[in-house]
Structure 1
Amino acid sequence: MTAPDLKTPTDLKSNATKSVAEALNGALADSFALYLKTKNFHWHVSGPHFRDYHLMFDEQATEILGVTDLIAERVRKTGNTTLRSIGDVARHQSVKDNDADFVSPADMLKELRDDNLALVETFRAVKAAATEAGDNATEGIVDDWTDQAEQRAWFLFEAARGA
């Protein structure tokens, strides 16, 4: 069976949207990896601040997951295709997985903070690609995602002061 033409109509040049889509797909992969890591830590946190960290990690994971759909839809709106599988995510992600049997709450906070700050840098690369491509819609929406990641990093930093 022949695949249908998935090219969404856009007035942006295809070579320009390709670089934006690549940057967005990298951000999408990192967002999925960060979502799963945040849920992992939500499921496995322990200690005297269990309830606070458990709830914060769940809130942050929900926020991150919400952004993934927006990122993927933005890729499609530019006339490109997005990630299709866990393997595809793994090939594009720069956020490192954490498969450790035990991670201390303090290390969880630090690792998630650092990963959110790395995601901020990824979003800044998306913004730069969008600016170069003249894609003002991506330029504008990525600012919200950057602010959310900065806020998560700030909360994690503040929570770690007592950890």
Structure 2
Amino acid sequence: MSNPKDNATAALVDSLNGLLADYFALYMKTKSFHWHVAGPQFRDLHLLFDEQAQEMFALTDTIAERVRKLGGDTLTSIGAIGGKSTIKDQNDTSLNAMDMVRELRDDNAALVASLKRVKDAAGEAGDNATDGLIDDWTDEAEERVWFLSQITR
């Protein structure tokens, strides 16, 4: 018979790995947009995309270390990231700047929803440390959504 706490922790590890995959995928998309953005707002968007990408990349180690502290294994490859991520690829390097902004806004909004699901999983597992960390991660993602939303007004 399985232990409900063990099941809840396994579900939390799985959701954290999904979150980690989304952060890596969104980091890559944001960096790609940083490299390929063009137009009248080039400088501002180039710098904003880089700043946001750095913020996301900085969290990847923290998320992975939470998985390890919980006794789980974390993602090991690009294939593992691709298999777990819910962020859709964007390979069109000629996308216009406002389409890039809207896509990143929507992806970050989806990330906020994912963060809330992980927070629920942390609560189910009784993991107060992860639960507390997610509040800060959610605030950062909501700020990215806000910044990107203001550009499209």
Alignment TM-score, normalising by the size of structure 1: 0.90
2:95 aligned residue: 103
Note if contact 2:122-2:131 (Cα within 8 Å) is conserved in structure 1: yes
1:153 aligned residue: 145
- 1:160 positional shift: 1.8
1:143 aligned residue: 135
Correspondence for 2:48 among 47, 52, 56: 56
- 1:13 positional shift: 3.8
1:35 aligned residue: 27
- 1:14 positional shift: 2.7
Correspondence for 2:12 among 5, 8, 20: 20
Q: Which ranges in structure 2 are unaligned for 5 or more consecutive residues?
A: none
Q: Percent identity?
A: 58
- 1:53 positional shift: 0.2
SS at match of 2:65: helix
Q: Counterparts of 2:58 and 2:138 in 1: how far apart (Å)?
A: 14
Pairwise CA RMSD: 1.1
Moved over 6 A (4+): none
Higher relative helix content: 2
- 1:100 positional shift: 1.0
Q: Counterparts of 2:93 and 2:59 in 1: how far apart (Å)?
A: 28
Q: Which ranges in structure 1 are unaligned for 5 or more consecutive residues?
A: 1-11
Q: Counterparts of 1:91 and 1:133 in 2: how far apart (Å)?
A: 24
Alignment TM-score, normalising by the size of structure 2: 0.95
The higher radius of gyration belongs to 1
Note if contact 2:36-2:93 (Cα within 8 Å) is conserved in structure 1: no
SS at match of 1:43: helix
